[in-house]
Chain A
Amino acid sequence: MKRKIAAVAIVGTVALTLTACGGAAPAGTSGGDTKSDKLVVWNWGEADAAATAYYDDITAAFKKVRPDVEVEIVHQPFDQYYTLLGSAVEAGTGPDVALFNGGTQLKSRTDMLVPITSEMADLEDTLAGWPAFQADGETYSAPMFLQGFPIYYNKALFDSAGLDADTPPASWDELTAACSAVLDKTDASCFALGNKEGLGIEFFLSGFGSGIFTPDEYDAWIDGKHDWTSAHAKQVLQLWADSAADGWYNDGANSTAMFNDSFDLFSAGKAAMVIGLMSDTAHWKQFDEFLGADLGFMMPVAVNDGATVALPAEGGIGYGVLNEKKKDLAVDWIKATVDKDALSNYSLAGGQIASDTTVELDTDIAAANDIVAELGGSKPLLHTALDAETLDLLHRLGQQLIGGEVTVDEAAEQLAASEG
């Protein structure tokens, strides 16, 4: 026993004497090789037919410019994508380019990304949604699609609950009344919620935020001034906790995965409403396949006087460059991802709202046209203005608020402390 403890002590001492030797992270930003005939690309999600066609299109566009370069596309699961990416980069085995969500996920990782500001300059006027991919005056990606949190509802369930399916709730009181009716008169839950990863509260914050904060507070939040102890920030947390306590959500929300279990509940008619996405997945196109004419779109509801409701939307996803040695190749790949024909084809086939403002969405899906009609007055997402550490804390607190483990005041204090 003593010998073993002594051995451990020796190891520790030796380690202490070595503390000037090297660092835990590799010196480079990526472990991508330097061979100029291959580009390793990471993204997430399953390659459905539409996505496969889109990637065929952009690979073809890339090959026009780089005919001799092989593209290796690696699909990772989304739920742990950033942890996998971070681990790979730290281990020196990261890809050359990787897909990122705009906002927090990209901005908190600019230290591992290569700026491409001048290379993207000629695309600036063609695409919308740049701010989500810019930090400290540098551009790190080109937005492929716009992303946002529209609220979708099931018109058939509204009818069953005795609600006017063509006039969705416009205020918090009306929403509360609608939820009561749905819970009383149908077997469905009011909202579908998957909170296993803690994502629910960020959808709630960004989904309903414009109806809670004043325009000045909203803009200040986007600019990085997050006063978690303010009345309206606490109100967000309170409404989140109250909505759970009032039984708005499906059973077992904290153990239900958001992607895609909770969205499946909405598609299957087991929930009257859901805060979904505009692009990528859980969007108008996917829901239309299940609900057809019963799919409705509604704007955030007005909660406080002085708030101006707006569709929460911004630059959604785009590729960032991780391997500086392959910057030129990666830039050509990024330009290929925003090829107008590829975006145009995928918008309709895959259910995406393209960043290219010259692309017209030619669809008869009412929810999609309603979303596009609101883009002009849209505001950036509130949760993507938070840093990664605060967002992770918000995820955990969102679960604890549902479980009644923390009070709103405690949660607000912890978030304020996290923002430092």
Chain B
Amino acid sequence: MVLPVILILVIFRLYPLILGVNFSFTGDKELNGQFVGLDNYVTLLGDARFRASAVNVLVVLLFVPLQVFVAGILATFVFLKVPGHSFFRSVYFLPVVLSPIIIGAIFNIILAANGPLNAALGVINLPGVDWLGLRATALPTVLVVHIWATFGMAFTIFLAGFATLDAELLDAAKIDGANMRQQVVHVIIPSLSQTIQFVFVTTTIGMLTGLFGLLYTMTAGGPGAASYLPEFLIWKLTGEARPALASAASVFLLLIVLVIGLIQIRVLRRATKES
């Protein structure tokens, strides 16, 4: 019974993975298929777009807690049955079903230099900002749009986690006189430890591997290389007829996701457990 599953995993997961890593040690164009050792990795380190991508990964990581916090706090409100919670539950999930290309197109209009957001800022005498055209704001803006578009999934997972919460434990805490903060810190967070870990890791992976559509439509990696991320670079390199170099960038992305994921699980396991 196990053998078919293993075979499927090996054929469709492990083999392509090994093939990709293998290609990263071969050359491009006239060196296609020839072993070039670590040349591709050295070339990548000298590429401004790659260096920008690597730095931008850290920027992305700064936004992960924001998405988890937004999803968690809104899920808490819905769990506590604030007025209109059924309506909000549907509304929060709605953007998840939209295509990133559509979302990108909509926000291109909203965030344009002469768009409605800057017009609204003008009404309250604040200067307009070229949100997608400035180095300092391009990537953060795309990340905020990404959070708006995808937090519904994390929100839903949190709601599922709340469903497993031991109500008696919460009641006991209330009877013992625990205030809201104490209930959250000492009961809710430890009880949702697994859920929080899962949401953190999936949100991180989602941010590192799911931003392509928004980058493609909103900034095209610019200005300069300010909003390049590894997956966008991988696509660009492939289009430049350098698939081996793209494979090296893919290995870099794989290692980043793997290492960050493992570290997160470790750190969060400690942070969310009741000592």
Residues of chain A at the chain B interface (Cβ within 8 Å)? 1, 4-5, 8, 11-12, 14-16, 18-25, 27, 79-80, 82-87, 89-90, 109, 111-112, 195-198, 250-256, 388-389, 392-393, 396-397, 399-400, 402-403, 405-406
Partner of B33, one of A22, A84, A406: A22
Q: Is there contact, CB below 8 Å, between B241 and A112?
A: yes
Which B residues lie within 8 Å of A402 (CB)?
223
CB closest residue in chain B, given A83: B239
Not counting A252-B114, A252-B133, a sample of 17 additional A-B residue pairs whose C-beta atoms are within 8 angstroms of each other reads: A4-B258, A14-B18, A15-B22, A19-B25, A21-B22, A23-B23, A25-B29, A25-B32, A79-B220, A83-B235, A86-B239, A90-B241, A198-B222, A252-B132, A253-B133, A396-B222, A399-B224
Q: Is there contact, CB below 8 Å, between B258 and A8?
A: yes
Q: Is there contact, CB below 8 Å, between A251 and B21?
A: no
Is B174 close to A, CB under 8 A? no
- How far is B25's CA from A14's CA once the two chains are assembled, in angstroms? 12
CB closest residue in chain A, given B134: A403
Q: Given that A254-B133, A256-B113 are contacting pairs, would A23 and B21 also be in contact in the complex, using a CB cutoff of 8 Å?
A: no
Is B273 close to A, CB under 8 A? no
Q: When each residue 76-111 of chain B gets 1 if its CB lies under 8 Å from chain A and 0 otherwise, what string results?
A: 000000000000000000000000000000000001
Q: Determine how close the nearest CB of chain A comes to the CB of B100; give it in whole angstroms.
A: 15
- Which residues of B in the span 125-146 have a Cβ within 8 Å of any Cβ on A? 128, 130-135, 138
- How far is B33's CA from A254's CA once the two chains are assembled, in angstroms? 39
- How far is B240's CA from A406's CA once the two chains are assembled, in angstroms? 25
Which B residues lie within 8 Å of A19 (CB)?
22, 25-26, 35
Q: Is there contact, CB below 8 Å, between A251 and B22?
A: no
Which A residues lie within 8 Å of B49 (CB)?
396
CB closest residue in chain A, given B18: A15
Q: Is there contact, CB below 8 Å, between A4 and B238?
A: no
- How far is B259's CA from A1's CA once the two chains are assembled, in angstroms? 10
Q: Is there contact, CB below 8 Å, between A18 and B18?
A: yes
Q: Is there contact, CB below 8 Å, between B220 and A197?
A: yes
Partner of A251, one of B25, B113, B135, B224: B113
Partner of A255, one of B17, B30, B132, B241: B132
A-B residue pair count with CB separations less than 8 angstroms: 150
Partner of A86, one of B17, B30, B34, B241: B241
Q: Is there contact, CB below 8 Å, between A403 and B135?
A: yes
Which A residues lie within 8 Å of B22 (CB)?
15-16, 18-19, 21-22
- How far is B235's CA from A90's CA once the two chains are assembled, in angstroms? 11
Q: Is there contact, CB below 8 Å, between A388 and B32?
A: no
Which B residues lie within 8 Å of A23 (CB)?
23, 26-27, 32-34, 244
Q: Is there contact, CB below 8 Å, between A111 and B21?
A: no
Partner of B262, one of A1, A14, A389, A397: A1
Which B residues lie within 8 Å of A15 (CB)?
18, 21-22, 24-25
Which B residues lie within 8 Å of A389 (CB)?
240
Is B266 close to A, CB under 8 A? yes
Residues of chain B at the chain A interface (Cβ within 8 Å)? 14, 17-19, 21-30, 32-35, 48-49, 111-114, 128, 130-135, 138, 216, 219-220, 222-225, 235-236, 238-241, 243-244, 246-247, 255, 258, 262, 266
Q: Is there contact, CB below 8 Å, between A396 and B239?
A: no
Q: Is there contact, CB below 8 Å, between A90 and B113?
A: no
| A-B contact list, 11 entries, CB within 8 Å | A11-B14, A22-B26, A23-B26, A23-B32, A27-B32, A80-B239, A87-B238, A255-B112, A255-B131, A396-B49, A397-B224
CB closest residue in chain B, given A405: B135
- How far is B135's CA from A359's CA once the two chains are assembled, in angstroms? 48
Q: Given that A90-B238, A196-B222, A399-B224 are contacting pairs, would A252 and B113 also be in contact in the complex, using a CB cutoff of 8 Å?
A: yes
Partner of B243, one of A18, A90, A256, A400: A90
- How far is B18's CA from A18's CA once the two chains are assembled, in angstroms? 9
Partner of B114, one of A20, A251, A397: A251
Q: Given that A25-B32, A90-B243, A197-B220 are contacting pairs, would A251 and B128 also be in contact in the complex, using a CB cutoff of 8 Å?
A: yes
Q: Is there contact, CB below 8 Å, between A85 and B262?
A: no
- How far is B241's CA from A406's CA once the two chains are assembled, in angstroms? 29
Q: Determine how close the nearest CB of chain A comes to the CB of B119; give it in whole angstroms.
A: 12
Q: Is there contact, CB below 8 Å, between A86 and B223?
A: no
Q: Determine how close the nearest CB of chain B comes to the CB of A386; give it in whole angstroms.
A: 14
Nearest first, the 7 closest Cβ-Cβ pairs linking A and B are A252-B113, A83-B239, A23-B33, A254-B133, A255-B133, A15-B21, A24-B243
Q: Is there contact, CB below 8 Å, between A252 and B21?
A: no
Q: Is there contact, CB below 8 Å, between A25 and B243?
A: yes
CB closest residue in chain A, given B241: A86
CB closest residue in chain A, given B248: A24
Q: Is there contact, CB below 8 Å, between A255 and B238?
A: no
- How far is B235's CA from A85's CA once the two chains are assembled, in angstroms? 12
- How far is B133's CA from A195's CA once the two chains are assembled, in angstroms? 9
Q: Determine how close the nearest CB of chain A comes to the CB of B83; give it in whole angstroms.
A: 39
Which B residues lie within 8 Å of A393 (CB)?
48
Q: Determine how close the nearest CB of chain B comes to the CB of A13; give it in whole angstroms.
A: 10
Q: Determine how close the nearest CB of chain A comes to the CB of B146; give it in whole angstroms.
A: 17
Which A residues lie within 8 Å of B135 (CB)?
400, 403, 405
Which A residues lie within 8 Å of B34 (CB)?
23
Q: Determine how close the nearest CB of chain A comes to the CB of B95; give it in whole angstroms.
A: 22
Q: Interface centre among B33, B111, B131, B241, by most A CB within 10 Å?
A: B241
Q: Is there contact, CB below 8 Å, between B133 and A20?
A: no
- How far is B14's CA from A87's CA once the two chains are assembled, in angstroms? 23
Which B residues lie within 8 Å of A111 (CB)?
29-30, 241
CB closest residue in chain A, given B49: A396
CB closest residue in chain A, given B36: A19
Q: Is there contact, CB below 8 Å, between A84 and B239?
A: yes
Which A residues lie within 8 Å of B241 (CB)?
25, 86, 89-90, 109, 111-112
